[in-house]
Structure 1
Amino acid sequence: MSNNKKCLEDKFLTEHLQGKRVVVGFSGGADSVSLLYRLVELREDLSLTLEAVHLNHCLRGEESLRDENFVRDFCQQYGVSLQVKQVDVAKLAAETGLSVETCGREERYRFFEEAAGTDGMIATAHTLSDNMETVVFHMIRGTALKGLCGIPAARGNIVRPLLQCTRESVEDYCRRKELSFVTDSSNLSTDYLRNKIRAEIIPKFFEINPSADRSFARMVTALQMDEEYLDRIVRGLWDQMQGDGFLWLEPIAGKPAVILSRIAAKILEYFGFPLEYQNVDRVAGLLHTGEGRQEMGRNVYLRAKESRLFLEEAARETAFFRLETELPKAGGTSKITVAYTEVSGNFSVCRNRTLKLQVLGREDAAHLEKIYKNLLIFALDYDTIIGKLVFRQKLSGDRLKTPKSNGTKTVKKFFNEKKVPVADRRRALVVCDDAEILAVEFLGVGKRAAVTEDTKRVLLITEMR
């Protein structure tokens, strides 16, 4: 498999992995076996610290266990450190509303990132064949230039050394090296769109052009160059547009539509609106005229005026709420109910959120945080709280100092940066004591009340459902 050898020995590996700790996503399939084996061979030459991670999706019963056992045996044979994690992806997908494919991908990359930590590189075994399928998948679903660029060879701490190698060449490499691998039976089913593309659509390309994979690789390379150039221009303009709670429009005045549409997409993410084609088109039109407003939701608008773009709310959909309460005593527990009204048109709905306030030692609190991680809203340093607690809605001008900074920033700006949806901003809990804001829902705890190694007692605030 000369193609695999070439792409695994060229300057790509040296540039990205030389002397690094490398975590390999290892499914046990031909692609990941080929990648891990070659990195084992190059371990000394590249001074690699090599590890492997395997996520058992628990989707195929005994076959999933077979794959896990194969991975364990392979890593033991070649002296590679291995982490294995089992996740019931079907159950988790049902709970989160995601497709099984999307949920599985998110869980894999979450596991990879955990294993890599702050100093590790992640190597995945995506091939040129995978990239072709991905681009066709994007085309069918609808995409812009970025989607046609397919899977990037390197992004952040993730590298994909096999991206110039076809699946056939990978399997041939395994045969010549006498390497065993497992086959995922679900890849043979056309129930999944990606498998249907692999089995029925891609072969048609090769009927027309036997070298379709090489033509595809040239196309993707050219498109990626265009994408990188445009992205660099847009990032520079975006930096120039930043104001305090608004965006300057002067830097993009007179810019072509290809730039405005990309800026429009960034604006949608910035303000937490859905990144949909219709929204991009409407916001790009607003940027072109430089004046007027676009409705982005009930009583929520993007307003362009006097070379500025900002969020404008015609009316508050969630009536203001405020509740003051005493701190529970050390070791104690209390419950409070925050009542608020959601207003929609001519109708209003009263809603309640019941919160549990519990004071614990730091170690006990850390244990409960893991148990209640889906219900936990805040964990505060109990001994830093001054006077009473107030739970209220955000007010104009609210500011928060984060644990990682010495200065303060408006809550509105934090919401924009973190892309918190507008509806969530209205009902977000702001927790104050007699001195200042301690924490804001969706943003976290401020610097003074943050739990540190010196914290002795913790106030846990969880939602009761």
Structure 2
Amino acid sequence: MKQILKKVRTFAQENELFDPGQKLCAAVSGGADSMALLRILLELQPEFGYQLTACHVNHGLRGASADRDEAFVRGECGRLGVPLRVFHPADVGFAVPPHAGEDWARKLRCACFDALHAEGITTVAAAHTATDQAETLLFRLARGTGLHGAAGIRPKREGFCHPLLCLTRGETERFCTGCGQRWVEDETNDSDAYARNRLRHGALPALRSANAAAEENLARFCEKAARADAYFAQKAEVLLEDAEALLPQRLPAGAVYAMQKEEPVWALGPLQEADPLLLEAALHRLVSPVRDAEEKYVRLLCTLVEQGSGAVQLTEAVRFWAGGGVLWVEEAVEKDPLPEAGVTALPLPFSPEKALELRLPGGWMLETRRIPGGFPEKTQGVHKKDLKNQADYAKITMLYSALVLRHRRPGDTFCPAGRGVRKELRKWMNETGIPPEERDRLPLLAAGSEVVWVCGAGFADGLAPTADSEVVLQMEAQKMEEEQ
């Protein structure tokens, strides 16, 4: 225990995590990591002089288990004499959707932390460990990332700190055991439905078998990547400032309009002459305020700069343009579309268990229903062309917790049935020959950026019902003109 306290003390001092009089709030879920965080912060409080409180977020997603965790945290904070603030979704204006997922839960926690900051809390301390850091690094590398993403979770950022990044999950459990501190287990951590859990259960044990210190080594790599990223970020800022100052005399109309709106415009010359790593760092700084700065978006902008002409659509509202020797950003002015009588506006949360009959934008009529599985096709009265619009209901409900009916968005991907290859939806639409005028109005079903069903193409690969399927989800869509 003393050795673990020493590690956290040294880590906090090196990263300047604590200040005397600081109003510090520990985010406590009730798990081993967060209970270790609370006990360690209590031990270090006299030395660093911060004011310590705790908070707990009951997401309302796990029923009795969530209420059990809340009661446990209340009891432990009362026993330890730590003031506790408990949040429920309604406390910050949230309502639990029918199929809330990790994204919704993350937004809820952020809203709760914002409320704490508004009430005077200086810093929220989170219980992320070196194990979480290793998982984050592997996840980002698999998805595609640069130095900034490879730096992982930073020890400190505005309003937040992570004092346990120097400890592994095994060390937090040993600390709790050593001081007689109980904790609760979140049963969702055992499920492989989430990508991070699959890394936790598969990749990390395999790496530990190669080197027992794998987690610490991966976390150390993140520290080095963070230092390198900070260095390139400073150089990138200078590069962008120089590119803003060296504009040609004549500018394209779009760049002129951007400058009239006091938006930055950059000369392409300095960007094209820059070291490729420095250019990537500079373009990462341009992408990150707009969307999650994945490697593919940075590379798209790099290609745009190298070509010197063209455009890259980052979101529905933000597009980067190059031409006439300059680079500029164009932001669309969002307008509320005029509603059509009887037409359901998209996006719309989708609950597989509910039968629907909707008129959608673009002249589509959509009907969804559940039907018994295991019957011959002739008994069901299903045409062969409709089979692609059937999915195993159990697979859908198990794999996807937050489905949305909507139109396409930048970054969407789709894996057509029978192909086994995931593609960007944009490329798939090009290859399939869908008319450009129809692509933005074609209804689809998605979970995040993963498209599960496309009107006219059916469900994605791996979702088709089998002879063992007890219940089948069927989605039927057709043009209103065809009905008439």
> Which of the five TM-score ranges fits, normalised by the shorter chain?
0.5 to 0.7
Give the structure 2 partner of residue 12 of structure 1. Answer: 12
Instruction: Select which of 54, 60, 63 maps to 2:62.
Output: 60
Paired with 2:227 and 2:310, the residues of 1 have a C-alpha distance of 35
Q: 1:196 to 1:21 in 2, by over 3 A?
A: same
Instruction: Select which of 309, 313, 326 maps to 1:292.
Output: 309
Q: Give the Å deviation of 1:80.
A: 1.2
Instruction: Select which of 279, 289, 311 maps to 1:260.
Output: 279
Q: Give the Å deviation of 1:160.
A: 0.5
Q: 1:305 to 1:51 in 2, by over 3 A?
A: same
Paired with 2:182 and 2:317, the residues of 1 have a C-alpha distance of 61
Q: Does structure 1 retain, via aligned residues, the 8 Å contact 2:25–2:121?
A: no
Q: 1:119 to 1:251 in 2, by over 3 A?
A: farther
> What amino acid does structure 1 have at the position aligned with 2:125?
A
Q: Give the Å deviation of 1:145.
A: 2.2
Q: Helix, strand or coil: the match of 2:310?
A: strand
Q: Does structure 2 retain, via aligned residues, the 8 Å contact 1:302–1:309?
A: yes
Q: 1:93 to 1:101 in 2, by over 3 A?
A: farther
Matches within 5 A, 1:282-361: 282-289=300-307, 291-294=308-311, 296=313, 302-311=320-329
CA RMSD between the two structures: 3.6
Q: 1:151 to 1:75 in 2, by over 3 A?
A: same
Matches within 5 A, 1:79-228: 79-87=81-89, 94=97, 100-117=101-118, 120-228=122-230
Q: Give the Å deviation of 1:190.
A: 1.6
TM-score (norm 1): 0.60
Question: Which structure 1 residue ranges, 5 or more long, are not aligned?
Answer: 322-347, 350-422, 424-465
Q: Helix, strand or coil: the match of 1:59?
A: coil
Q: 1:248 to 1:38 in 2, by over 3 A?
A: same
Q: Give the Å deviation of 1:194.
A: 1.2
Q: Helix, strand or coil: the match of 1:138?
A: helix
Aligned-pair identity in percent equals 28
Q: 1:85 to 1:316 in 2, by over 3 A?
A: closer
Q: Give the Å deviation of 1:105.
A: 1.9
Give the structure 2 partner of residue 441 of structure 1. Answer: none
Q: Does structure 2 retain, via aligned residues, the 8 Å contact 1:23–1:116?
A: no
Q: 1:92 to 1:265 in 2, by over 3 A?
A: farther
Q: Give the Å deviation of 1:147.
A: 2.2
Q: Helix, strand or coil: the match of 2:182?
A: coil
Q: Helix, strand or coil: the match of 1:165?
A: coil
Q: When the two structures are aligned, how many residues end up with a matched partner?
A: 319
Q: Give the Å deviation of 1:58.
A: 1.6
Q: Helix, strand or coil: the match of 1:170?
A: helix
Give the structure 2 partner of residue 40 of structure 1. Answer: 42
Q: Does structure 2 retain, via aligned residues, the 8 Å contact 1:134–1:150?
A: yes
Q: Give the Å deviation of 1:294.
A: 2.4
Q: Helix, strand or coil: the match of 2:42?
A: helix
Q: Helix, strand or coil: the match of 2:55?
A: strand
Q: Give the Å deviation of 1:240.
A: 4.3
Q: 1:35 to 1:309 in 2, by over 3 A?
A: same
Question: Which structure 2 residue ranges, 5 or more long, are not aligned?
Answer: 245-258, 339-360, 363-439, 441-484
TM-score (norm 2): 0.58
Paired with 1:318 and 1:38, the residues of 2 have a C-alpha distance of 51
Q: Does structure 2 retain, via aligned residues, the 8 Å contact 1:273–1:296?
A: no
Paired with 1:317 and 1:32, the residues of 2 have a C-alpha distance of 42
Q: Helix, strand or coil: the match of 1:139?
A: helix
Paired with 2:139 and 2:109, the residues of 1 have a C-alpha distance of 20
Paired with 1:316 and 1:181, the residues of 2 have a C-alpha distance of 50
> What amino acid does structure 2 have at the position aligned with 1:18?
D
Q: Does structure 2 retain, via aligned residues, the 8 Å contact 1:33–1:181?
A: yes
Paired with 1:156 and 1:299, the residues of 2 have a C-alpha distance of 28
Matches within 5 A, 1:266-281: 266-268=285-287, 272=290, 277-281=295-299
> What amino acid does structure 1 have at the position aligned with 2:7?
C
Q: Give the Å deviation of 1:23.
A: 0.9
Q: Helix, strand or coil: the match of 1:16?
A: coil
Q: Does structure 2 retain, via aligned residues, the 8 Å contact 1:18–1:48?
A: yes
Give the structure 2 partner of residue 248 of structure 1. Answer: 266
Q: Give the Å deviation of 1:264.
A: 3.0
Q: Give the Å deviation of 1:286.
A: 3.1
